[in-house]
Amino acid sequence: MEIAPVETAARPVVGYAKDYPAGLLAEAHAHPKAQVIYAVSGVMQVETQEASYTIPPSTALFMPSDMVHSIYMDGPVAMRCLFMRDGVATRMQNTCKVISVTPLLRELIVAACLEPLDWDLKGRGHYITSLALDEIDRSDVLALSLPLPSDVRLRRVIDAIRQMPSSQRSLGEWADIAGASERTLARLFRKDTGLTFRQWRQHARMTAAMCALSVGESLTAAANLAGFQSQPAFGAAFRKIFGITPGQVKAMGGGGLNNGL
């Protein structure tokens, strides 16, 4: 397999670069090493059994070893990943985390992907990967995970909301689509996701807005997608969830990289 040399590389951190066409689905799989899943362009939708993660170019996903996941390429994706031995990213521990990607970390990931798998232990590869690990440990952790339910009725609703995050349908209207009462659906939201319907929908909307900003959409379009008429109100709500402003996300996503593409 193409990925096998990366998974068995002796170095503590190695890079992996691959470009994917729009719409490609990497079906459920796992790797024996932990990963930082990143794309210098394009947006990925990563799903585990418990949650969904939208990963635009301003963020990356730390994934522990042996975790089953799938990846959908929402448009053409230039993936640049780091595969690492368990424990080298000390702050990440053993849970999925979405992290912010600084311009420095972006460049380091790309540079690591240009190094051979057996990079010199005293050379450039050592310094690049060491600094990358330090940047990863310093990165902000972002609330970009959406809990996924197991109940099939609730899953119908959640899948539809993810397709139409700006929909104004009430919980009662979604209950009709799900084939369950409004009261049952409200209970399922709290039980299966730990969030109320309104909380889950708002988070889905904000995640979609972040994705849109990262691929160049305007602040107005992102605010509308999140269900806001007012940009200041959108900005305040966005910052409360993610700890950064919509403008900062747009700036991080718009720079792009030439190295390694």
pLDDT in tens, the chain (261 residues): 589 999 999 999 999 999 999 899 999 999 999 999 999 988 899 999 999 998 888 889 999 999 999 999 988 899 999 999 988 887 777 889 999 899 999 999 999 999 999 999 999 999 999 999 999 999 988 877 889 988 999 999 998 998 888 888 999 999 888 889 999 999 999 999 999 999 999 889 988 898 888 778 899 999 998 989 899 999 999 888 777 788 877 776 544 433 333
pLDDT at 30: 96
**Distance between CA atoms of residues 94 and 84, nearest Å:** 13
The alpha helices in the chain, defined as continuous H runs, are: 4-7, 103-113, 124-138, 152-163, 171-178, 182-193, 197-214, 219-225, 231-242, 246-254
Residue with token string 């339910």: 149
* Residues 144 and 98: beta-carbon distance below 8 Å: yes
pLDDT at 177: 85
pLDDT at 261: 36
pLDDT at 85: 94
**Distance between CA atoms of residues 191 and 196, nearest Å:** 9
pLDDT at 171: 92
* Residues 247 and 218: beta-carbon distance below 8 Å: no
**Distance between CA atoms of residues 90 and 62, nearest Å:** 12
Domains observed in the chain: 4-142 (2.60.120.810), 148-254 (1.10.10.60)
pLDDT at 215: 76
pLDDT at 244: 77
pTM across the whole model: 0.81
pLDDT at 154: 92
pLDDT at 255: 43
DSSP 143: -
